[in-house]
Structure 1
Amino acid sequence: MRNAGRMPFEHERADMASIVKFIMERFDTNVAGGNFSFKVVDRDGDYGEIGKEYIIMTPTMMSEAYLGTLTAAQILVVEPHTRKIIDGVGNLTREINMHEAVYDANPDIKAILHGHAKEQLSWATMGVPIPNLTEATQKVKGVEVLPFRHNCSEEIAEMVGAHVAKLGDAALMHEYLLNSHGTMITVGGKNMSGLTAIHKAVSVVDTMEYNAHIAYEQTMLQLQGSLDGYYSKGIKIGTVEDVFKDHKAIYNDKSNLELEVKS
């Protein structure tokens, strides 16, 4: 039975509202917004059927209309596929199709964060992968760029869903560039909660924002002739040609043990 007088998934929605504000303040998205979601499960049947999955999702216009300042009540509780809003004040983003395609492609994915992070968006508009160089971001591995498809279209949903399915478990901690559109991060695991997953996604977008700037600086140093490649953990892992000509999503895939031996 539903808890009288309480919003469905009140704690989770309040947390999501805080995430939106944090991401806006950190320039991890802009006034054009983006959209964030994570899965929740009705453990006790308070809102319908025991064990039923719902999606906690930001409403459309979260940034332009509300400047990133939302209440828990404005965060939506959505029934997958029917797209019925179970609770929440606001309208559903048209990019729900991309979120559904990702969750369908890999049910172990528990959170999706799509935004327009300032530094990362520059790489997305160039249509080239971000060299992943910092120690804090190596868990994300290679950050590839996907071909341009119009935002909110069925084409972008189908393309992203197919790519996520192809990645398999690698999609459980991964970032993608959407050409000229922005970034997308997927996080999950069989036993991971959606709330944990969305917090991990926030960590990824913020640390990758620093990495994107560092990658730009190393790119400029190479073009100026002061550096002979991209460096990570003390070793050279690629060059400008690898990234801009061959579109390689480079990162330091050497183990710590290998690095210790070389040093």
Structure 2
Amino acid sequence: MTEQYVFEQERRDLAMICREMFNRKNTNVAGGNISVKITAPKNMDYGVVHIKKNHDYIIMTPTMMSESWYGKLDGAQILLVDLETGKQIDGVGRLTREINMHIEAYKANSGIKCVYHSHAEESMFWATIGQDMPNVTEITSDTMTLKKIKCLPYQPACSKELADEVHKNLVDIGDDAIENIFLLNSHGVLITCTDLHEATRILETVEWNAKIAYQQTVFKGLGLLDGYKSCGRKTDAFLN
């Protein structure tokens, strides 16, 4: 079947992920945004939209994704952006002011194919206190290279300072940036990954980890645990 608009299948897939993101309470009405990098496989023309072979584009959720539509987007509302210029070239809606954070993430490592930002409920606890999240559940310990989930220093939302902070920290961790999650102080989480669906899996598992780590913190405070526990051992070293 011929596509009605450029990267229709990929944009419909991102719209579906956005609906699930909101329905599963992995963000709130205050926001959240996701982008996916696509390198065009060939020259394509869709009316006034011209796509250049081997050129990098991103498809991205529009501003007010959560506030206005509660995550219920269709593919045509997913925006198409020229990654080199940062300009919107297709899609119904307007660019989020956080486009600068996404672009700086892609600049940090060419292997990053997805940037996923949300105000995930359980992770927001750790983000708002500005503390690294202990990594205590088996699935996060086994499937991610992280020993802890780092909270970046506070920078205002949508600011150049936040975009620069993200860029610097992604560069600092090298190729680990292609599968990573940071807490954004008082602002949520930021996942960088090679695949949209993998990024969604990371968020789901980290949300479970955030809740369980909080409960272990309470037990530590009550004197019922002598340290964080995971995989049959103490894991306090993960916080060092």
TM-score (norm 2): 0.93
Q: Tell me which amino acid in the other structure corresponds to 2:215.
A: E
Query: What is residue 147 of structure 1 aligned with on the other side?
Result: 153
Match of 1:60 among 51, 57, 63: 63
Query: What is residue 8 of structure 1 aligned with on the other side?
Result: 6
Query: What is residue 212 of structure 1 aligned with on the other side?
Result: 210
Alignment of 1:150-161 (within 5 A): 150-161=156-167
Q: Is the 8 A contact 2:117 2:189 kept in 1?
A: yes
Q: Tell me which amino acid in the other structure corresponds to 1:34.
A: G
Query: What is residue 37 of structure 1 aligned with on the other side?
Result: 35
Alignment of 1:1-263 (within 5 A): 6-46=4-44, 47-138=50-141, 139-140=143-144, 141=146, 142-188=148-194, 197-238=195-236, 243=239, 248=240
Q: Tell me which amino acid in the other structure corresponds to 1:98.
A: M
The SS at the match of 1:14 is helix
Structure 1's 217 and 43: CA in aligned 2 closer, same or farther, altered over 3 A? same
Structure 1's 226 and 87: CA in aligned 2 closer, same or farther, altered over 3 A? same
Shift of 1:134: 1.0
Q: Tell me which amino acid in the other structure corresponds to 2:69.
A: Y
The SS at the match of 2:235 is strand
The SS at the match of 1:208 is helix
Q: Distance in 2 between matches of 1:222 and 1:60?
A: 41
Query: What is residue 258 of structure 1 aligned with on the other side?
Result: none
Structure 1's 119 and 5: CA in aligned 2 closer, same or farther, altered over 3 A? closer
Shift of 1:41: 1.8
Q: Distance in 2 between matches of 1:110 and 1:82?
A: 17
Q: Tell me which amino acid in the other structure corresponds to 2:214.
A: Y
Q: Distance in 2 between matches of 1:105 and 1:84?
A: 19
Q: Distance in 1 between matches of 2:140 and 2:16?
A: 23
Q: Distance in 1 between matches of 2:77 and 2:16?
A: 12
TM-score (norm 1): 0.85
Q: Deviations over 1:27-77 (max 9, x none)?
A: 111111111011112112114221111001000000001111001000011
Q: Distance in 2 between matches of 1:16 and 1:48?
A: 19
Q: Distance in 1 between matches of 2:133 and 2:165?
A: 20
Q: Distance in 2 between matches of 1:223 and 1:5?
A: 57
Q: Tell me which amino acid in the other structure corresponds to 1:178.
A: L
Q: Distance in 1 between matches of 2:40 and 2:83?
A: 13
The SS at the match of 2:219 is helix
Q: Deviations over 1:198-240 (max 9, x none)?
A: 111000111111110000111111111111111111110118x
Note the residue ranges of structure 2 that are not aligned, 5 or more in a row: 45-49
